[in-house]
Amino acid sequence: MTTMTENASGLREFKMPDVGEGLTEAEILKWYVQVGDTVTDGQVVCEVETAKAAVELPIPYDGVVSELRFPEGTTVDVGEVIIAVDVAGGAGAPAPQASAAPEQIPAAPAPAPAEEPKPEGRKPVLVGYGVAESSTKRRPRKGAEVVPAQQPEPFLAATAIQGELNGHGHAKQRPLAKPPVRKLAKDLGVDLTTITPSGPDGIITREDVHAAVVPAPAPAPVVEVTPAAPVQAPARVPAPAPVVAYDTARETRIPVKGVRKATAAAMVGSAFTAPHVTEFVTLDVTRTMKLVEELKQDKELQGLRVNPLLLIAKALLVAIKRNPEVNASWDEANQEIVQKHYVNLGIAAATPRGLIVPNIKDAHAKTLPQLAQSLGELVATAREGKTSPGAMQGGTVTITNVGVFGVDTGTPILNPGESAILAVGAIKLQPWVHKGKVKPRQVTTLALSFDHRLVDGELGSKVLADVAAILEQPKRLITWA
């Protein structure tokens, strides 16, 4: 759902919505409009990346773009205004002009009269945040610098100087800095009001913030000497921490954010929360590979994605049906095992923005053609970067195909909240004993990692052995199903 506010001049402000059910921030990847462009209700104005996926945001009304509050690459909190639109179709409200002389402050100012209540308009709702009140407008104070509405860098409007009177009657100005610089200062614990800006027009730069972090040398302590007491040695002052310098010509620093940041946090949480156990099996999949070639010629599967992964996924679903206890999750709060009577099958997919794991809902109930169609749609959507946050939630077990990279096997880490993950290695021609003779056969290695709180060694071994048995003799897809 979207969030917007409207002021008396006809400008509507569109806020960053919660596009992922409880997410707190998103990065603006690309603007599709510029100041002065005409937009219509439902038109996509920008693409943002949350911790789960990249999402396109449509504008909910008609008008002319008056202001873009943040540049591409900026991480914005949910609820922050990101774009202003003049619904009247004009050039937007003119910026207020600064007064020629500062306002004289009376010795005893009279209290301002109470404003009459205004009728409430529509209250927009942020998903996961309930009803959000409209943001209040600030009246420009006299004597403060005013930034024009249309300027070379629109996002600097958010950093316009606002006068705030202190107890002595002097105006306290808010320092000018771009959003990334403000975030850097916040992370490093630097007060922007204490920094002398070096950028153009008095803007604080990243270098200014880094320079403020370097501690000033502490003065030597003064030691008083009295006749009755011996002279004390000066206190030992710790040396300031050295400033770490990086060779930008030989090193590249890449900010960890969006999908990659969320994946890193999830994997660390999973690795140090769920006790992992991994088992391996190497098997002959020659018959499965032959069946894949036959299915590609089947009329019922024409135009669908038919490959070894399809039959491996079906084999895992049959193994789960034979061993349903493996399909569960751990409820830490209630100290309970939650048995799942459905299978949301996750498929790990490598994308330019990082690894994501969308899942096929109710995969256990799908026929082979339906499973093939779902796999094809899942892969195509992931490659386009259009996977929705909902498609990556609620998974129960996952398959990761490391064989596409030529890797034989690995020890996969569980997706948080899931009970097991199956890694599929590369399928290669290898010498294999078949019917008493060494012959070249199609061989692969499977690795099954599982949560030992939910799955003991016997159950995990049964599941992995069943998957291997089906792939060695794919006719078991019929007899065991």
How confident is the model over 72-110, as pLDDT tens digits?
A: 988 888 889 999 999 885 544 444 443 434 444 444 444
Q: pLDDT at position 2, please? A: 47
CATH class (in words) of the domain with range 1-92+120-158: mainly beta
* Identity of the residue numbered 454: L
Q: Which residue has the higher pLDDT, 258 or 229?
A: 258
Active site residue 452: yes
Cβ-in-10-Å burial (0-12, 13-18, 19+) of 427 comes to middle
CATH 4.10.320.10 boundaries in the chain: 175-214
* Angle at alpha carbon of residue 125, lines to 120 and 128, rounded to 5°: 150
For residue 345, what are the β-bridge partners? Answer: 360, 397
* Section 378-385 average pLDDT: 88
At 314, is the pLDDT very low, low, confident or very high (cuts 50, 70, 90)? very high
At 475, is the pLDDT very low, low, confident or very high (cuts 50, 70, 90)? very high
Of 95-104, 192-201, 313-322, highest mean pLDDT:
313-322
In contact, 297 and 291? CB cutoff 8 Å: no
Fold topology of 259-479: Chloramphenicol Acetyltransferase (3.30.559)
CATH 3.30.559.10 boundaries in the chain: 259-479
pTM for the predicted model, two decimal places: 0.56
CATH 2.40.50.100 boundaries in the chain: 1-92+120-158
The domain defined by 175-214 carries CATH number 4.10.320.10: yes
- The Cα 223–Cα 375 span in angstroms is 77
Residue 320's φ and ψ, nearest 5 degrees, are: -65, -40
Res. 22: pLDDT tops 80: no
* Section 18-38 average pLDDT: 83
